[in-house]
Amino acid sequence: MTLFVMQSWPHNGFIMQTPIPTLFMRGGTSRGPFFLESDLPASTMARDRVLLAVMGSPDPRQIDGLGGAHPLTSKVGIVRNSEMSGVALDFLFVQLQPNSDVVDTTPNCGNMLAAVVPFALERGLVSPQGETTTLRVLTLNTNMQCDITVHTPHGQVSYDGEARIDGVPGTSAPITINFLDTEGSVCASLLPTGNVRDIINEVEVTCIDNGMPLVLFRAEAVGRTGYESVAELNADTQLKARIERLRIACGHAMGLGDVTSKNYPKMTLVAAPRDGGSLTTRSFIPHVCHDAIGVLAAVTVGTACVLPGSVTEGLAVVAEGQVKNISVEHPTGEFSVELELASTVPHKVVRAALLRTARLIMRGDVMVPSRLLDPHDLPE
């Protein structure tokens, strides 16, 4: 049972702010506050008010909250013990935006997912199992399950190690994520249009969802090389406007309805690899070019690379074999995904595994204005 203590700095006899316990964590190339579900208001409306205040949205600098003025640092994780048989933890990912009051729980986030088990161990939701701890996690956003393994020597989470991921300085302890079922995570199927390749708004695209709804198209199809820097692409207003029109049209074709205010599908320019990888990407999330690429976006790009007829055909460099290591190049390095194909169904991905890292940055209470909290909304 969690008790909300309605105390902080009094003003004229009134309590003005309320503390909520949080751990501020980096997961992969993202970061944000993590909460126990029981520490947040029970109603969705009150919870969203609180999370907007926590992050300081809407405001381009998020100056009045914990947000980092970028979509990758405007994320929240909410965790609880699972009641589903065989599953240890339930995880709800929340995407907020600096300039918007939208609180989106529709998409997945494989980067924040990497911090779920460390958070649960730090908060005592689960116990360590030995030198390593492997727990099954259900992502509530899309009912996707995965097994996550973290290092727990001496009964504590270890954040020190030699694992390195592009987009994060230094090294950390490895965290292994094995996704069990990512096909059609948000859309109705892997190929929601029913085709591996479509022509939409005069652009050849592959609309695909193997963990994250993506629209892949060749950079040359929109007059670019695919090797532009993030700064160049973010300053390219003409390209961004064209991509947004394409995104909205593809959203309807993928059965997602009007995606104008949604964070998906992500738009991904592809080109031939030039640094020894499998494919070069530039990913928009969806209106800002990603400095790297999202975890589940990388899984979905990798899947497109093994599908005959996709827009990656003729560009992607993929070795033979049932287990394939796909190296997805991005602006700050590469992201490797291991895909295992079914032995009986051609080109069907049955397993996706990858390496991430995480770190606990801060523990404590985040303060929110008490006026946002209706006492009837508080957990008992």
Low-confidence winner among 94-98, 109-113, 347-351, 352-356 (lowest mean pLDDT): 347-351
CATH topology for 198-353 is Diaminopimelate Epimerase; Chain A, domain 1 (3.10.310)
pLDDT digits (tens, 9 = 90+) for 183-233: 999 999 999 999 999 999 999 999 999 999 999 999 999 999 999 999 999
pLDDT digits (tens, 9 = 90+) for 243-289: 999 999 999 999 999 999 999 999 999 999 999 999 999 999 999 99
Q: What is the pLDDT of residue 377?
A: 54
Question: How sure is the predictor about 345, in pLDDT bands with cuts at 50, 70 and 90?
Answer: confident
Q: End-to-end CA distance of the chain, in Å? A: 7
With CA atoms as reference, report the closest residue to 323 among 293, 309, 308, 302. 302
pLDDT over 60 (residue 59): yes
Q: What is the DSSP string of 261-284?
A: TSS-SEEEEEE--SSSSSEEEEEE
Quote the CA–CA distance of 327 and 243 in Å, as a whole number: 25
Number of residues assigned to the chain:
380
pLDDT over 60 (residue 378): no
Low-confidence winner among 164-168, 291-295, 372-376 (lowest mean pLDDT): 372-376
Determine the average pLDDT of the residues in 107-132: 96
Q: What is the pLDDT of residue 180?
A: 85
Quote the CA–CA distance of 371 and 291 in Å, as a whole number: 37
Question: How sure is the predictor about 367, in pLDDT bands with cuts at 50, 70 and 90?
Answer: very high
Q: What is the pLDDT of residue 375?
A: 62
Segments making up each domain of the chain, as ranges: 10-174+359-377, 198-353
pLDDT over 90 (residue 3): no
Q: What is the pLDDT of residue 374?
A: 67
Quote the CA–CA distance of 246 and 163 in Å, as a whole number: 38
pTM over 0.85: no
Quote the CA–CA distance of 64 and 366 in Å, as a whole number: 12
pLDDT over 50 (residue 6): no
Percent of the chain exceeding pLDDT 90 equals: 87
In terms of C-beta density within 10 A (0-12 exposed, 13-18 middle, 19 or more buried), how is residue 287 classed?
Answer: middle
* Greatest Cα-to-Cα distance within the chain, rounded to the nearest angstrom: 72
CATH topology for 10-174+359-377 is Diaminopimelate Epimerase; Chain A, domain 1 (3.10.310)
Q: What is the pLDDT of residue 153?
A: 97
In this chain, the answer to whether the domains covering 10-174+359-377 and 198-353 adopt an identical fold is: yes
Could you count the other beta carbons within 10 Å of the beta carbon of residue 344? 7
